[in-house]
Amino acid sequence: MNNKQQPELSITIPVYNEEKGIGRTVKNLVNEFEKQKINYELVLVNHGSWDNTKEVLEKLGKTNNRLNIINLEKNLGYGGGIMYGFRHSNGENIGWVCADEETSAEDACRLYQEFRQNKYDVVKAIRTNRTDGEFRKFTSFIFNKAIAIRFRLNVKDTNGYPFYMKKQTFETLEVKEKTHLFNLDLLYEIRKKKYTIKEIPVVHGKRKTGKTFMKPSRIIEMAFDLLKYSLK
Protein backbone atom coordinates (compact mmCIF):
# COMPACT_ATOMS: atom_id res chain seq x y z
CA MET A 1 0.00 0.00 0.00
CA ASN A 2 2.55 2.56 -1.14
CA ASN A 3 0.42 4.60 -3.57
CA LYS A 4 0.37 8.21 -2.40
CA GLN A 5 -3.18 9.29 -1.63
CA GLN A 6 -5.14 11.27 0.95
CA PRO A 7 -5.02 9.16 4.13
CA GLU A 8 -8.10 8.26 6.09
CA LEU A 9 -6.09 8.12 9.31
CA SER A 10 -2.94 9.88 10.47
CA ILE A 11 -1.26 8.42 13.56
CA THR A 12 1.30 10.58 15.32
CA ILE A 13 4.22 8.86 17.03
CA PRO A 14 6.37 11.20 19.16
CA VAL A 15 9.93 9.88 19.11
CA TYR A 16 12.82 10.61 21.48
CA ASN A 17 16.00 8.51 21.46
CA GLU A 18 14.30 5.39 20.10
CA GLU A 19 16.95 4.22 17.61
CA LYS A 20 16.79 0.62 18.83
CA GLY A 21 13.03 0.14 18.77
CA ILE A 22 11.35 2.56 16.38
CA GLY A 23 11.99 0.39 13.32
CA ARG A 24 10.09 -2.53 14.83
CA THR A 25 7.27 -0.26 16.04
CA VAL A 26 6.81 1.20 12.56
CA LYS A 27 7.04 -2.19 10.86
CA ASN A 28 4.37 -3.72 13.12
CA LEU A 29 1.99 -0.78 12.68
CA VAL A 30 2.45 -0.76 8.91
CA ASN A 31 1.87 -4.51 8.68
CA GLU A 32 -1.28 -4.38 10.78
CA PHE A 33 -2.90 -1.40 9.08
CA GLU A 34 -2.10 -2.70 5.62
CA LYS A 35 -3.49 -6.11 6.56
CA GLN A 36 -6.73 -4.38 7.57
CA LYS A 37 -6.65 -2.29 4.34
CA ILE A 38 -6.79 0.98 6.26
CA ASN A 39 -5.61 4.05 4.37
CA TYR A 40 -3.06 5.31 6.92
CA GLU A 41 -0.26 7.80 7.45
CA LEU A 42 2.33 7.57 10.23
CA VAL A 43 3.56 10.98 11.39
CA LEU A 44 6.86 10.37 13.16
CA VAL A 45 7.90 13.44 15.17
CA ASN A 46 11.52 13.03 16.21
CA HIS A 47 12.16 15.92 18.57
CA GLY A 48 15.41 16.47 20.42
CA SER A 49 16.90 12.98 19.99
CA TRP A 50 20.68 12.80 20.39
CA ASP A 51 21.14 9.19 19.30
CA ASN A 52 20.77 7.79 15.74
CA THR A 53 16.98 8.05 15.63
CA LYS A 54 17.10 10.60 12.80
CA GLU A 55 19.15 8.30 10.56
CA VAL A 56 16.91 5.32 11.31
CA LEU A 57 13.76 7.31 10.45
CA GLU A 58 15.20 8.72 7.25
CA LYS A 59 16.06 5.22 6.12
CA LEU A 60 12.55 4.03 6.90
CA GLY A 61 11.06 6.98 5.03
CA LYS A 62 12.78 5.90 1.82
CA THR A 63 10.94 2.57 1.88
CA ASN A 64 7.38 3.81 2.47
CA ASN A 65 5.89 7.12 1.35
CA ARG A 66 3.14 6.78 3.94
CA LEU A 67 5.69 7.70 6.59
CA ASN A 68 5.72 11.45 7.28
CA ILE A 69 9.15 11.93 8.85
CA ILE A 70 9.71 15.10 10.89
CA ASN A 71 13.10 15.74 12.52
CA LEU A 72 13.38 18.63 14.97
CA GLU A 73 16.39 19.75 16.99
CA LYS A 74 14.38 20.90 20.00
CA ASN A 75 12.44 18.63 22.33
CA LEU A 76 8.82 19.82 22.38
CA GLY A 77 7.66 17.93 25.46
CA TYR A 78 5.27 14.98 25.50
CA GLY A 79 2.19 16.94 24.47
CA GLY A 80 4.11 19.31 22.25
CA GLY A 81 5.36 16.43 20.12
CA ILE A 82 1.87 15.02 19.69
CA MET A 83 0.31 18.38 18.80
CA TYR A 84 3.07 19.09 16.28
CA GLY A 85 2.20 15.80 14.63
CA PHE A 86 -1.49 16.67 14.59
CA ARG A 87 -0.76 19.98 12.85
CA HIS A 88 1.18 18.11 10.15
CA SER A 89 -1.35 15.30 9.72
CA ASN A 90 -3.14 14.92 6.41
CA GLY A 91 -5.83 12.47 7.47
CA GLU A 92 -9.49 13.11 8.22
CA ASN A 93 -9.00 11.16 11.45
CA ILE A 94 -6.05 11.53 13.80
CA GLY A 95 -4.61 9.76 16.79
CA TRP A 96 -1.42 8.78 18.51
CA VAL A 97 0.50 5.85 19.88
CA CYS A 98 3.86 5.80 21.64
CA ALA A 99 7.11 4.61 20.12
CA ASP A 100 7.91 1.97 22.73
CA GLU A 101 5.27 -0.66 21.82
CA GLU A 102 3.89 -0.92 25.34
CA THR A 103 0.59 -1.28 23.49
CA SER A 104 0.50 -3.49 20.42
CA ALA A 105 -0.10 -2.67 16.78
CA GLU A 106 -3.03 -5.11 16.88
CA ASP A 107 -4.68 -3.08 19.63
CA ALA A 108 -3.96 0.17 17.78
CA CYS A 109 -5.82 -1.21 14.77
CA ARG A 110 -8.63 -2.73 16.86
CA LEU A 111 -9.39 0.58 18.58
CA TYR A 112 -9.40 2.42 15.29
CA GLN A 113 -11.90 -0.05 13.86
CA GLU A 114 -14.11 0.65 16.89
CA PHE A 115 -13.79 4.36 16.19
CA ARG A 116 -14.64 4.18 12.49
CA GLN A 117 -17.54 1.74 12.97
CA ASN A 118 -19.29 3.57 15.82
CA LYS A 119 -20.47 7.10 16.52
CA TYR A 120 -18.22 8.09 19.40
CA ASP A 121 -16.33 11.36 19.06
CA VAL A 122 -13.31 9.86 20.81
CA VAL A 123 -12.09 6.29 21.25
CA LYS A 124 -9.18 5.69 23.61
CA ALA A 125 -7.58 2.90 25.61
CA ILE A 126 -7.74 1.79 29.20
CA ARG A 127 -4.40 0.14 29.97
CA THR A 128 -4.77 -3.25 31.70
CA ASN A 129 -2.26 -5.81 33.00
CA ARG A 130 0.29 -3.05 33.41
CA THR A 131 3.88 -4.21 33.78
CA ASP A 132 5.51 -0.88 34.70
CA GLY A 133 5.80 -1.65 38.42
CA GLU A 134 3.60 -1.37 41.51
CA PHE A 135 4.82 2.14 42.38
CA ARG A 136 3.95 3.43 38.90
CA LYS A 137 0.54 1.75 39.01
CA PHE A 138 -0.17 3.24 42.46
CA THR A 139 0.75 6.77 41.41
CA SER A 140 -1.35 6.37 38.25
CA PHE A 141 -4.32 5.26 40.37
CA ILE A 142 -4.02 8.31 42.64
CA PHE A 143 -3.55 10.61 39.64
CA ASN A 144 -6.68 9.31 37.92
CA LYS A 145 -8.78 9.54 41.10
CA ALA A 146 -7.66 13.11 41.76
CA ILE A 147 -8.45 14.11 38.20
CA ALA A 148 -11.87 12.44 38.25
CA ILE A 149 -12.81 14.35 41.40
CA ARG A 150 -11.35 17.75 40.51
CA PHE A 151 -12.26 17.91 36.82
CA ARG A 152 -15.26 15.54 36.75
CA LEU A 153 -13.81 13.56 33.91
CA ASN A 154 -15.73 10.37 33.27
CA VAL A 155 -12.66 8.39 32.21
CA LYS A 156 -10.80 5.59 33.96
CA ASP A 157 -7.34 6.05 32.46
CA THR A 158 -6.40 9.65 31.66
CA ASN A 159 -3.13 8.68 29.98
CA GLY A 160 -4.43 5.66 28.11
CA TYR A 161 -3.54 5.28 24.44
CA PRO A 162 -4.06 4.57 21.51
CA PHE A 163 -6.36 7.58 21.14
CA TYR A 164 -8.48 8.52 18.09
CA MET A 165 -10.72 11.40 17.01
CA LYS A 166 -11.52 13.42 13.90
CA LYS A 167 -9.07 16.17 13.06
CA GLN A 168 -11.91 18.66 12.91
CA THR A 169 -12.85 17.69 16.47
CA PHE A 170 -9.35 18.52 17.69
CA GLU A 171 -9.45 21.83 15.87
CA THR A 172 -12.43 22.91 18.00
CA LEU A 173 -10.44 22.40 21.21
CA GLU A 174 -8.17 24.89 22.97
CA VAL A 175 -5.45 22.52 24.13
CA LYS A 176 -2.41 24.39 25.45
CA GLU A 177 -0.45 21.96 27.64
CA LYS A 178 2.72 20.62 26.02
CA THR A 179 3.92 18.68 29.08
CA HIS A 180 2.82 15.43 30.71
CA LEU A 181 -0.51 17.19 31.43
CA PHE A 182 -1.41 17.16 27.73
CA ASN A 183 -3.81 14.21 28.12
CA LEU A 184 -5.62 15.91 31.00
CA ASP A 185 -5.88 19.22 29.12
CA LEU A 186 -7.16 17.43 26.02
CA LEU A 187 -9.77 15.40 27.90
CA TYR A 188 -10.89 18.44 29.91
CA GLU A 189 -11.46 20.36 26.67
CA ILE A 190 -13.35 17.37 25.26
CA ARG A 191 -15.59 17.28 28.34
CA LYS A 192 -16.33 21.02 28.07
CA LYS A 193 -17.41 20.50 24.45
CA LYS A 194 -19.58 17.54 25.51
CA TYR A 195 -17.97 15.15 23.04
CA THR A 196 -18.57 11.45 23.64
CA ILE A 197 -15.72 9.17 24.74
CA LYS A 198 -15.47 5.40 24.55
CA GLU A 199 -12.72 3.64 26.54
CA ILE A 200 -11.62 0.16 25.50
CA PRO A 201 -9.26 -2.13 27.47
CA VAL A 202 -5.86 -2.91 25.97
CA VAL A 203 -2.98 -4.93 27.38
CA HIS A 204 -0.14 -2.68 28.51
CA GLY A 205 3.08 -4.64 28.11
CA LYS A 206 6.75 -4.03 28.72
CA ARG A 207 8.86 -1.76 26.57
CA LYS A 208 10.58 -3.79 23.89
CA THR A 209 13.73 -1.63 24.20
CA GLY A 210 15.03 0.87 26.74
CA LYS A 211 13.68 1.53 30.22
CA THR A 212 11.12 3.78 31.87
CA PHE A 213 12.14 5.62 35.02
CA MET A 214 9.91 7.40 37.53
CA LYS A 215 11.90 8.88 40.41
CA PRO A 216 10.16 10.19 43.57
CA SER A 217 11.38 13.70 42.74
CA ARG A 218 9.61 13.46 39.40
CA ILE A 219 6.39 12.36 41.12
CA ILE A 220 6.56 15.44 43.36
CA GLU A 221 7.20 17.69 40.38
CA MET A 222 4.22 16.21 38.53
CA ALA A 223 1.99 16.66 41.59
CA PHE A 224 2.89 20.36 41.76
CA ASP A 225 2.21 20.69 38.02
CA LEU A 226 -1.22 19.15 38.53
CA LEU A 227 -1.94 21.49 41.44
CA LYS A 228 -0.99 24.55 39.40
CA TYR A 229 -3.14 23.37 36.49
CA SER A 230 -6.11 22.80 38.78
CA LEU A 231 -5.88 26.37 40.07
CA LYS A 232 -6.12 27.95 36.63
Q: How confident is the model at residue 113, as a pLDDT? A: 97
Q: How confident is the model at residue 214, as a pLDDT? A: 56
- Asked whether residue 2 is domain-assigned, the answer is no
- Asked whether residue 3 is domain-assigned, the answer is no
Amino acid in the structure at residue 119: K
CATH number at residue 157: 3.90.550.10
The confidence band for 32, taking pLDDT boundaries of 50, 70 and 90, is: very high
Task: Give the rounded distance of the alpha carbon of 158 from its chain centre.
Answer: 12
Amino acid in the structure at residue 179: T
Q: What is the pTM of this model?
A: 0.88
- Asked whether residue 226 is domain-assigned, the answer is yes
Q: How confident is the model at residue 212, as a pLDDT? A: 57
Q: Which helix (H) or strand (E) holds 167?
A: helix 167-170
State how many domains the chain has: 1
Q: How confident is the model at residue 231, as a pLDDT? A: 76
Q: Is the pLDDT of residue 4 over 70?
A: no
3-state secondary structure of 227: helix
Q: At what angle do helices 134-151 and 216-230 cross, to 10 degrees?
A: 10
Q: What Rg value do the Cα atoms of the chain yield, rounded?
A: 17
The confidence band for 230, taking pLDDT boundaries of 50, 70 and 90, is: confident
E strands, the chain, are 9-15, 40-47, 67-72, 93-96, 122-128, 163-166, 197-203
List the domain range (segments joined by +) for residue 164.
Answer: 9-230
For the residues 26-52, what does the mean pLDDT come to?
A: 97
Q: What are the tens digits of pLDDT across the range 52-109? A: 999 999 999 999 999 999 999 999 999 999 999 999 999 999 999 999 889 999 999 9
Q: What HEC string does 20-37 produce? A: CCHHHHHHHHHHHHHHCC
Alpha-carbon distances of 149 from 145, 152, 154, 230, rounded to whole Å: 6, 5, 10, 11
Q: How far does the chain reach from its first CA to its final CA, in angstroms?
A: 46
- Asked whether residue 4 is domain-assigned, the answer is no
The confidence band for 132, taking pLDDT boundaries of 50, 70 and 90, is: low
Could you tell me which residue, 159 or 214, shows the higher pLDDT?
159
Q: How confident is the model at residue 1, as a pLDDT? A: 46
Backbone angles phi and psi of 10, in degrees to 5: -115, 120
Percent of the chain with pLDDT over 70: 90
Q: Which helix (H) or strand (E) holds 113?
A: helix 105-117
For the residues 16-41, what does the mean pLDDT come to?
A: 97
- Tell me how crowded residue 7 is: count the other CB atoms within 10 A of its CB: 21
